[in-house]
Amino acid sequence: MVSAPRVEVSPSVEADQRVFMRGVSYKDYELVLLARGEASVPRISYAEGVLELMSPSRSHETLKTLIGRLVEAYAEERGLDLNGFGSWTLKNPAVERGAEPDECYTLGPPGEVPDLALEVAWTHGGLDKLDIYAKLGVGEVWFWRKGRIEIHVLRGEGFEEVERSPLLPDLDLRHLETFLDEDNQTQAVRAYRLALRGGS
């Protein structure tokens, strides 16, 4: 049975807001999705009777947007057919799992699930997203935690952390991370594009 762990956040960090509900059926989960409609928040995750509603903080949204823009800039500079789907609602009644990533992408034509899901772990706790994504069949998940992007690749029934993305093997994420402290997103993307082109 999936439990809903306690959420912890440093007092100095702007916190995401999370609410957990236990004993929720998959049918009720789908009704909650229907009631929320096309709104982008709260983001809704579900695993074996536990429903999580998450309203991301401004800092969370700013960071996930900048990471996404940098990844998209990389794909454009390298001529890759990367397609973005935002917080695509991923769900499967057969495994009683559902999630909405911060950003997600396919490389080439879209399939039933994205090739890559991006998550900003701004606070600690919540449902086990890697378990959910594994059951949903997402091939690669990136987690930003404390200034670093972790790469997790689906191997069999679970994820393995690796240093390089099999999906984007030439992308140096350590280099990309150096642009995440820039307050102005447009300037960060411009500087990153210049660096990718071999500029200073």
Give the start-to-end residue ranges of the domains of the chain: 58-196
Q: 5 pLDDT exceeds 50?
A: no
| Fold of the 58-196 domain | tt1808, chain A (3.90.1570)
How much is the pTM? 0.88
Q: Report the C-alpha gap between 119 and 90 in whole angstroms.
A: 14
> In angstroms, rounded to a whole number, what is the distance separating the alpha carbons of residues 68 and 63?
9
Are residues 123 and 143 in contact, defined by beta-carbon separation less than 8 angstroms? Answer: no
Give Cα separations from 89 to 101, 102, 104, 125, 182 (angstroms): 8, 10, 10, 21, 30
> What share of the chain in percent tops pLDDT 70?
92
Compute the average pLDDT of residues 6-19. 59
List the one residue out of 120, 172, 167 whose CA is nearest residue 146: 120
Predicted local distance difference test score (pLDDT) of residue 199: 65
Q: Between residues 142 and 112, which one has the greater pLDDT?
A: 142
